[in-house]
Amino acid sequence: MKDHFDCVTALRSPAHITLVPPFWMSDDLENKLTGAICQFSQHQVPLEITLKNFAAFKPRVIYADVLSTPHLQALYSQLLEYLIALDRFPIKNDDRPFHPHVTIATRDLHKKAFHAAWEGFKDRNYEAVAWINGISLLKHNQKNWDVVFTSQFKTILGNR
């Protein structure tokens, strides 16, 4: 995408599945949020995800599609409910349904170039399996998204 369409925005964050939509928060709450994520993660077990083929939020976003499973859906809804229930952070329920994906191109994919870019992905077969072993907190530094904290899920014999 970078070479053919000059798309770099998706490269400014590590590959990830968004569980909580971005929000603004004062820096002094960061330690409390990392503590809350750590507490939540202690009760989670690793889960396998499958990325399968590509999809789009037309006309600006192309992504690797993540198959939604009951375990991934539960992780999303339980984390959101947990953080909202703490009532310490400016997190709200998202009106949009959870649609797990890994972004390949986003805001800097110009509408005029979308069709050509999508032609290169829409029929491409792709499949990858990965394990989710924790939750990372990303923070924007005015240019990129940095991982500032990663919790680990509890390890169960036989899981990764």
61 occurs within a structural domain: yes
Residue 18, C-beta contacts closer than 8 angstroms, at least 6 positions apart: none
22 occurs within a structural domain: yes
159 occurs within a structural domain: no
What is the pTM assigned to this prediction?
0.89
Question: Residue 43 is part of a domain; what is its CATH number?
Answer: 3.90.1140.10
Q: With the C-alpha atoms ordered 22, 26, 30, 32, is the resulting torsion angle positive or negative? A: negative
Placement of tokens 């889960």 in the chain: 47
141 occurs within a structural domain: yes
Per-residue pLDDT, 63: 96
Which tens digit of pLDDT belongs to each residue from 78-124?
A: 999 999 999 999 999 888 899 999 999 988 888 888 999 999 999 99
Domains of the chain: total: 1
Would the pLDDT of 156 be above 70?
no
6 occurs within a structural domain: yes
105 occurs within a structural domain: yes
Q: How much is the mean pLDDT over the chain?
A: 92
Between the CA atoms of 8, 26, 24 and 22, what dihedral angle is there, to the nearest 10 degrees?
Answer: 60
d(CA 121, CA 101): 14
Amino acid identity, position 35: G
Which tens digit of pLDDT belongs to each residue from 120-134?
A: 999 999 999 999 999
Would the pLDDT of 158 be above 70?
no
Domain that holds residue 143: 2-150
18 occurs within a structural domain: yes
157 occurs within a structural domain: no
